[in-house]
Amino acid sequence: MAEIQLIEAPAPHQQPPDYTRLNDLACSKVGGCIVFASDDWFAEAENLLKPNIPEWKEGVFTEYGKWMDGWETRRKRIPGHDWAIIQLGVSGVIFGVDVDTSFFTGNYTPRISIQAANLKKKFPSRNGKPGKAATEAEYKKIAALNSENWETIVPISELKPGYKTSFHNFFRVKRQQLWTHLRLNMFPDGGIARLRVYGQAKRDWSLVDKDTVVDLVAMVNGGVCLGSSNAHFGHPRNLVAPGTGENMGDGWETARRLDRPAVLTADKSGVLQVPGCEWAVFRLGCPGVVKEITLDTRHFKGNFPDSCRIEACNIPLSGEQQALSVMSGPPWKTLLLPQKMTPNREHHYKDEVQTIGTISHIRLFVAPDGGVSRMRIWGLKEDVALASKL
């Protein structure tokens, strides 16, 4: 198998805010839904939570106006402002949001604020449609939530319009507590393409039996991506999303390495000589002992990695920053030796998993580059005290 060399991640100034490597807790893919929207005239609020990046359809109009991929309310001719209630798909701690205004230019929302609550109740999702405004009965029902008094996690802030270079509006969230619902306020009206809510799911590990094998890195169990060498086509956070990948965009896909040889060669035993690799690091939702591993290359047919391997370590959260910045040094141990990959298939490992005791972090290497759809790290929880800290 080819020798693995580590490469440096891009310089910090080239990257979006650090919290964007976390999981989108509001995405419809993980069950996020709209509970209420004051107005859906041009485009329904459900679009805010779609997993794909927003689209523009030149010259496409509906009976209500220009087709837009986002939530767009009508120009207000009555007092008040527009707002929506979002139920997170996975409740958790929010570290930052992206209010994406892609393609909303003369119709973008100039100001927003976001409020949050931790509610016991779960609400059914509605079926928002363009051309509608909330009815008296809907307003009456939602009033019981008293959402105008929820905690403010993003104060009234200005947005930039969605011209090509300036469609992300990032806001860091400082109040790090558990939230289940958000209220997005538009001041006064307009359009927003997507709302990304970056955070970490909070699982109550005291409810998980010590003999139950769980996916320790799953986003629903609190697993998060901490960084990667390359996320050109698809972010590694997708590896820990629930279910199977929908398409190639719903996985981790790197760019083709530029140092690949002009002509590929194999050694005497037929092993391909492919230099270099790419990597992604994850913190498990709870430290534990790994029993089995699944790597799924679904949808990656002409671009699956030649091989994958996994390293792991057991470090306290307080030492995470320091330990992870020394990318090649200890305390990493081999959890899964290099495994040859095949296209569009789930690869399951049991006997191949090395016995290395409790681990808290893993890093997946793909050599030399390519795409993986999902990664499951099946194991038993170990140190509950550490997992409950953030």
> Is the Cβ–Cβ distance between 27 and 51 less than 8 Å?
yes
Query: In terms of CB distance, is 7 or 60 closer to ligand 1AL?
Result: 60
Binding ligand 1AL by CB under 6 A: which of 10, 16, 75, 316?
75
Size of the site for ligand 1AL (CB under 6 A): 7
**What are the start-end ranges of the H helices in 96-247?**
136-143
Smallest distance, ligand 1AL to C-beta of residue 57, A: 11
The H or E element that residue 386 is part of is helix 384-387
Nearer to ligand 1AL, 188 or 242 (CB): 188
CB of 98 to ligand 1AL, least distance (A): 21
Kindly give, in sequence order, each residue whose CB lies less than 8 Å from that of residue 168, ignoring residues fewer than 6 positions away: 16, 98, 100
Nearer to ligand 1AL, 72 or 296 (CB): 72
Residue nearest to ligand 1AL (CB): 65
Q: Which one of 42, 304, 332, 365 is in contact with ligand 1AL (CB under 6 A)?
A: 42
Q: Position 173: which residue type?
A: V
Residue from 236, 218, 237 nearest 286 by CA: 218
Measured from the CB of residue 190, what is the shortest distance to ligand 1AL in angstroms? 7
Rounded least distance, CB 60 to ligand 1AL, Å: 10
Instruction: Yes or no: say if 93 and 390 are a contact pair by the CB < 8 Å rule.
Output: yes
Token representation of residue 162 = 């969605």
* Contact flag: residue 38 with ligand 1AL (CB under 6 A): no
Q: Count the Cβ atoms, other than its own, within 10 Å of residue 5.
A: 12
Least Cβ distance, residue 188 to ligand 1AL (angstroms): 13
Tokens 């199977």 belong to residue: 244
Question: Distance (Å, rounded) from C-alpha 180 to C-alpha 118?
Answer: 5
Q: What is the sign of the dihedral through the CA atoms of 55, 58, 62 and 67?
A: positive
Nearest CB to ligand 1AL, comparing residues 75 and 129: 75
Least CB distance to ligand 1AL at residue 86 (A): 21
Q: What angle do CA 46, 187, 140 make, to 5 degrees?
A: 60
| Cβ closest to ligand 1AL, residue 59 vs residue 330 | 59
Interacting residue with ligand 1AL among 107, 180, 229, 373 (CB under 6 A): 107
The pattern of x and - marking residues 44 through 73 that bind ligand 1AL according to CB under 6 A reads ---------------------xx-x---x-
Minimal distance, residue 287 CB to ligand 1AL, in Å: 49
Query: In Å, what is the CA distance from 379 to each residue of 207, 312, 354?
Result: 16, 13, 12
Q: From its phi and psi, is residue 124 left (phi > 0), alpha (psi between -120 and 50) or beta?
A: beta
Judged by the rule CB under 6 A, the positions of this chain that interact with ligand 1AL are 42, 65-66, 68, 72, 75, 107
